[in-house]
Every structure is written in structure tokens, then in C-alpha cells.
Amino acid sequence: MFKLALCMWVLVRVAPNFSAQDYLKKYDAMMGPDSFEGIMVMVAHRDDDTTRTYQMKILKSGDDKLRVWFNAPASAKGQEMLRQGENLWVYLPSIKKPVRLASRDNFQGGDFNNADILRANLAADYQVKFGQSAPEGQVLLELSSKNPETSYDRILLWLDAKNALPIRGEYYAASGKMLRSATFNEVKDFHGFKRPSRIVMRNELAIKRFSELATVDLKVGVNPPSTKFVLDELGR
């Protein structure tokens, strides 16, 4: 009881003006800005200590449009992914046509799933409240899924109480089992926009496996034409 009171006091002291919903919106705005163009690298570390590296360019417009171009590895070069609202497709140059994807499928076989990368809008999919055991200077957000379509049933997010920079995340299945955990590292300034430049996502079901997503460059506020997010544009 004393601990709970202490936590609440710390929370009120460091962040008197932000509600849990506010924090989540700040998180979404930081990790999935409304409109951006970015270059990212994902390195998947596997059980045998080898890695697979993916280079990609990401273009996002608004809440519901996102497109990814893959440049490496050579076997994935030319692949593209498109999200339009709830719809996800991958264009495979080897079959010369797009194929629908589920948001819960793994992103390129790594430890992120498609929704982690292509649909970073937690406020739309989860209800949020403050958790009770955040270290000093941090806030803990407890997210619970609004619908069964989401990748995780429950998410715990630790954010910096002052600026809402994410520090750590835990992602749970409906059974209560932890599926993934993430750390958010190396805050960088991308043309005046600050955010963690490296996310390490650990697969808690296969403990030696983890994936790193590094932001090489990011430019927010771009306004790409809507024709960039049309299914028949894939492969062009």
C-alpha cells in the first residue's frame, strides 16, 4: 500500500499534466510519426549466432498508409510491402504479384511482427492506464487490446516521464505468456526530431533470438502523393 502510494506520488510529481492516453499518443507520435520517410536496417540474430540483415526504405502518410522497399539481402531485393488501412500486402518479384498478409505474421521472419513495423498506432488498438510499478522518473503504461485482431493481448510500456521517450516494452499473449520484450536505445536527433534510433526486440519464446531495428535516417513531415500507396504501384 505504501509502495502504491509512493508510485502515485512520484507519478503525480514528475508528470502532473499528462494522462496515460496522452503518454500513449506521444509514444505513437514518436515511434510512428504521422508522415515520414526513413531508412532502416533490421538485423535478425538467430539461435546459431548468425544474422540476417534487411535494409529498407519506409514511407508513411497519415495513420493508415505505409510502404516499404527492401534493398537487401539480395534474395529480398525488389520486395515491397504496403499497408492501406487494415490491409497489408507484400509484393514478391519472384511471382510478380502482391499477396495479402496478416498483421500478426512475422516481419521478414524476424522477431518483429508486421503490425510492429507497419502499424505503429497503439492508441487506436489498445486501451491504456497507468501501471503501478515504474522506477523513479519513468511511467508505466498498461495497454489492453480493444479487439482480437491485435498482435498482442497486453503490452507494458515504460516511458521517460518527462519527455515520453520509450525505454522498455513487454508484449503478452492472451494466456499471460510474455511473447516479446523490447528495449529502446540510443536517442538521436533526426533533422530536429528526437527518438530512439535502435530497438532491440527479444523473442521470449526462443531466448537466443532477437532482432534489432536501427533507424539510419528519418525525415518527418514529408507529404508523399497518395499514388505511392496504391496496390498497383507495387513493383514499379
The set of cell numbers assigned to 152 is: 498482442
The only residue of 3, 12, 16, 96 in contact with other proteins, by rule CB under 8 A: 96
Residue 93 interacts with other proteins (CB under 8 A): yes or no: yes
Residue whose C-alpha cell is 535478425:
44
Residue 150 has phi, psi (to 5 degrees) of -70, 160
Q: Which positions from 191 through 220 interact with other proteins, judged by CB under 8 A? A: 191, 212, 214, 216-217, 219
User: Among residues 98 and 159, whose Cβ is nearest to other proteins?
Assistant: 98
Half-sphere exposure in the Cβ direction for 9 (13 Å, CA): 6
CB of 168 to other proteins, least distance (A): 20
Q: Report residue 65: phi and psi, to 5°.
A: -130, 125
Are 122 and 113 in contact by the 8 Å Cβ rule? The answer is: no
To the nearest whole angstrom, how small is the minimum distance from the Cβ of residue 178 to other proteins?
A: 14
Residues 130-189 that bind other proteins (CB under 8 A): 148-149
Write down the least CB distance from residue 153 to other proteins, Å: 13
Asked whether position 39 contacts other proteins by CB under 8 A, the answer is yes
Give, in order, the Cα–Cα distances in Å from 63 to each of 39, 85, 105, 120.
19, 8, 20, 9
Cα distance between residue 152 and residue 161, in whole Å? 24
The residue (of 109 and 135) whose beta carbon lies closer to other proteins is 109
**50 or 223, CB closer to other proteins?**
50
Distance CA 224, CA 37 (A): 9
CB of 193 to other proteins, least distance (A): 13
74 DSSP 8-state letter: G
Binding positions for other proteins, rule: CB under 8 A:
37-41, 43, 45-53, 55-57, 69, 71-75, 77-78, 84-87, 92-97, 100, 102, 104-106, 109, 148-149, 191, 212, 214, 216-217, 219, 225-227, 229-233, 236
